[in-house]
Amino acid sequence: MLRPLAWNIGFAIGHPEIDAQHRHLIHLINEIFAAVERKELGRLPAMLSSLRTAASEHFRHEIVTLRKLLSGTHDGIKGRPRTSRLAKALADTRIDEHQAQHAVLLNQLNGFGALPPHTLCSHLVSWFVDHAIKQDSRLRAVFQAI
């Protein structure tokens, strides 16, 4: 029996939209788990495509958010010069690396369709946790600062 991926506060970064997108990615991953459990394997390519689309949009949103922090136009730092400087410094050191990590994650998703179903599920969990816990911990630092 596969265990669905449960929401964990460790996946939150403190940005409502990004946190909602993380929840949505978990939902899509759990839908894939359910399809594997029901042996509806023919649905997996379309489901993986939907996950990739959602992940791509999520990654784009993260980069847009970092760019807003860098430009000082993010609502969380407007009119707060000290916080703005800190958030800009944190965002600036991370944006290129974060974007490169996104490309790696999307490429990984592209290859997941060739995996056996139960292996696919464990890879999806690792994929999401790597993004939300390891990579987005840097974003969490930015939003804790503001």
52-92: pLDDT as tens digits: 999 999 999 999 888 887 777 777 666 666 555 666 666 66
> How much is the pTM?
0.89
d(CA 143, CA 122): 30
Q: What is the pLDDT of residue 83?
A: 55
Low-confidence ranges of the chain (pLDDT < 50): none
Compute CA distances 3 → 29, 47, 52, 115, whole Å.
11, 18, 21, 18
Q: Are 144 and 137 in contact (CB under 8 A)?
A: no
pLDDT at 138: 72
Tell me how far apart the alpha carbons of residues 146 and 26 are, in angstroms, rounded to a whole number. 26
DSSP state of 3: P
Q: What is the pLDDT of residue 91?
A: 61
The domains found in the chain, sorted by start residue, are: 15-145 (1.20.120.50)
